Structure 1
């Protein structure tokens, strides 16, 4: 009930009293199939529209909003729809990894530090994708070791070493996982690395040989982005499957407490 008080001749309504609701819970349920369907569909649409934008800008005469569509959907662009989607994909993967890391830490699992490390790695990859941090390494690395040809995009050198280091560190961790999870993680990693590194090496060669503004380069960029998106979505799929089979009773609670 609201109270009305008189203050210097003015009627002031007191704020309604907040009654704590003890024991209240809100269940957040994830529809795995619907989420994955949305992710795959969004990726397919972005790749298709992005390639159409590249094709129309390269071969077709100008038409209404052509350059706008191209800028919003260019697959190698920054601060546009594909870049935003790729960033969110990596951060979603980091969130799922974080849930698993919490569960494994609570259970004092032997590999809890690996799950936590992978979470941190994917948070960084998400930030890197959004801010294009890796591209800022091209000139310093190029000046340091004079890369050219397939290593024209010199960031692949330190990042390639990082990827190899992560694989070596995770070998024993991968062996202990269920076969389906292990195979899913390896396949998703292979897709992502093929896109992020393999196609980048091919683009470096084409850039050196033919220049940057060629349709062959744009085809390689399209394949690269498609492989990266497919790799991350398959990675998320594998993690969700792992949660379902390995952590069937896992429950995440969120609460606040005073210090």
Structure 2
């Protein structure tokens, strides 16, 4: 799964960057602008946006599976897993609907911000990230060392892209606009970091399910159109090893 997602991310980032380069260095050709827009990682409602939406939604589902398993086992921090699931559900909806952009104007007016600081959704998001880190510090410390490291790396990549790279990106928009090579490079790095962060996070969640929850399996019910025969297909995530006896 991780290798597949990494290949998808690399392909999307490379195609996006190359398609943007054609706008600056190649003469016009049929569907050039359409192709560049369809694969631009910095645009909405295109192929990279759909991928990011699905990746975030898949993360929410995995977190929901862990939360449900913790509830059945009366495990610790079951509510933390559940809240994380809802957070990633919101992030997936934000990715497809750009909900955070609705914070720009109210926060800009509140802070009386001008210039490149129009990207003032960074302020409320930054505050929420700090609150989240403090609220989840004990939760993070209780995790197994390998999973903890993956969570930290995933968070650093995602937040570094989503918030950190918005600052130079916003400055470039204010000083030179979006139609230049410097902004394309910064925006590509920003989106690449976000997507890589989610890949690492998904890898951490699947590893946690495999090793510490003993795997998860479910059934898919399939019924033919013209036959009463019912088929059952079992799709499971097999455990890499016997489930750890210690409760995490």
Query: What TM-score bracket applies, with the shorter chain setting the length?
Result: 0.7 to 0.9
Deviation at 1:154, TM superposition (A): 1.1
Deviation at 1:253, TM superposition (A): 6.4
The residue number in structure 2 matching 1:111 is: 77
The residue number in structure 2 matching 1:90 is: 56
Question: Which of these residues, 197, 201, 207, is aligned with residue 241 of structure 1?
Answer: 207
Deviation at 1:148, TM superposition (A): 3.9
Alpha carbon RMSD of aligned pairs, Å?
1.6
**Structure 1 regions of 5+ residues with no counterpart?**
1-34
Question: Which of these residues, 212, 219, 229, is aligned with residue 195 of structure 2?
Answer: 229
The residue number in structure 1 matching 2:101 is: 135
The residue number in structure 2 matching 1:197 is: 163
Tell me, in whole angstroms, the C-alpha distance in 1 between the residues paired with 2:60 and 2:2: 16
Question: Which of these residues, 65, 78, 94, is aligned with residue 99 of structure 1?
Answer: 65
Contact 2:209-2:215 at 8 Å conserved across structures: no
Q: Give the match's secondary structure for 2:71.
A: helix
Q: Give the match's secondary structure for 2:75.
A: coil
Which has the higher mean CA deviation after the structures are superposed, 145-154 or 181-190?
145-154
TM-score w.r.t. the length of structure 2 is 0.85
TM-score w.r.t. the length of structure 1 is 0.81
Larger Rg: 1
The residue number in structure 1 matching 2:91 is: 125
**Structure 2 regions of 5+ residues with no counterpart?**
222-248
Q: Give the match's secondary structure for 1:74.
A: coil
